[in-house]
Structure 1
Amino acid sequence: MIKEEARNYINQHFSSLSKKEKINLDAKILKNFKKNLNILNCKNIGSYVSLNNEVSTFNLNQFISEKGINVFLPKLSKNKKNKHLSFLQYLKKDKHTKNTFGVLEPSSNMKSIELEELDLIVVPIRAVNKNLFRLGHGGGFYDASLKRINPKKCIGLGYEFQIIEDFEIESHDLKLGGLITPEGYFKNAL
């Protein structure tokens, strides 16, 4: 399956998901995150502000923050040719602004962190294949930004329908260290 077909397949599934079903599945994913990942040794975790057609990260980010762990969210570079994301600290009181893709980002005056200092990075996905290679929205920002990071640090959140048997993989595509779904936690053997 080519990437665009995979994205269309996932979009169809998201549009057929009721709000109640999504809330229920998101709660199961959060439960599996809490159950399967020991984050108490983490000092800094990268996450993201989810879109409507992604697993919700609102309660996840709150949970991490309430554990006294610093949460850092991605921000696009102002230079449109630069595909690298900066990660800035998330604070409840911080006012987020929408970037050119409609994604909420922290304000620029927040504390930034080097990617290597993040103990865990929760990564958005459109789909993953059986080997946990990630398919994103197509911008290449996460692939470019996280290519020098140990893949074991990168965890995806997804629904069962986002696991696709196979889709085309390119050399720059990010391989995740694990995937959390409503059914459980799947680790990659890497």
Structure 2
Amino acid sequence: MRKARREHVATQPPSIRALLFNRPPAPLLDMIDEDAVIGLYHATADEAPTTSYTKFFYERGHRIALPRFSSANEPMTFAEHTDPFDESDLVAGPFELRQPVEDAPRLEPDCLLIPLIGFTATGERLGQGGGHYDQWLADHQGRTKIGLAWDVQLVESLPIEPHDQRLDAVVTPTRLYGPF
């Protein structure tokens, strides 16, 4: 699945990738409260890009939270991202992530847009393998969970374990799966 994602992304120029995830679809917006804190991620090269979504939600008045790790062995937390245009408030973190600076205020997202390796048409998700999102979501029940993915990441089934958290919806460049 990682290989399929990597090969697909390699065929898309960066400018096209950004356009494909330019604005959240209207049915997705219906799932998000007007005052919700939005949890996003700073995408790596192969992940569905989030820059435009981050700017979109920020301009609508939402507070933006990005994952933050004190170290690779510590649990994931979320901290406020206040500069989605210049990203001057982000620093290098574990896992090749850009994350909010250490003294950024902690936030607890109401709605999370989550990266993934694979997903099913019923909302099952295969993450990066660290279990960070599954653990955070298990500790913070009732959050809206939306996956962002490329169409090639859709699979018929996944090896699901009891701790895996099902998504409420998945957005791809061509379709919204869900809400489930």
Asked whether the 8 Å contact 1:152–1:178 carries over to 2, the reply is: no
Q: Is it true that 1:78 corresponds to 2:71 in the alignment?
A: yes
Match among 138, 141, 149 for residue 129 of structure 2: 138
Q: CA deviation at 1:10?
A: 3.2
Does structure 1 retain, via aligned residues, the 8 Å contact 2:39–2:111? yes
Aligned residues: 174
Which runs of 5 or more structure 2 residues have no equivalent in the other structure? none
Question: 1:119 corresponds to which residue?
Answer: 110
1:56 to 42, 49, 58: 49
**RMSD across aligned positions (CA):** 2.1
- Take 1:178 and 1:152, find their aligned partners in 2: how far apart are those partners? 12
Residues 13-24 of structure 1 aligned to structure 2 (within 5 Å) = 13-17=5-9, 18-20=11-13, 23-24=15-16
Change (3 A) 1:151 1:54: farther
Cα separation, 1, equivalents of 2:168 and 2:141:
8
Find the aligned partners of 1:11 and 1:163 in 2 and give their Cα distance.
Answer: 13
Give the equivalent residue in structure 2 for 1:168: 159
Pair 1:165–1:152, CA change in 2 (3 A):
farther
Identity across matched positions, percent: 22
Cα distance in 2 between the residues matched to 1:12 and 1:181:
15
Opposite residue 16 of structure 2, the aligned amino acid is: N
CA distance 1:95–1:29, shift in 2 (3 Å)? closer
* Deviant stretches of 4+, over 4 Å: none
Tell me how far 1:40 sits from its aligned partner: 6.1
- Given the superposition, is the C-alpha separation of residues 16 and 46 from structure 1 closer, same or farther in structure 2, using an over 3 Å criterion? closer
Shift of the alpha carbon at 1:91? 1.3
Instruction: Choose between structure 1 and 2: higher helix proportion.
Output: 1
Instruction: Work out the CA distance in 2 between the residues paired with 1:188 and 1:16.
Output: 26
The CA distance in 2 between the partners of 1:188 and 1:149, in whole Å, is 19
Query: Within the alignment, does 1:30 sit opposite 2:26 as a pair?
Result: no
Question: TM-score, normalization: structure 2?
Answer: 0.85
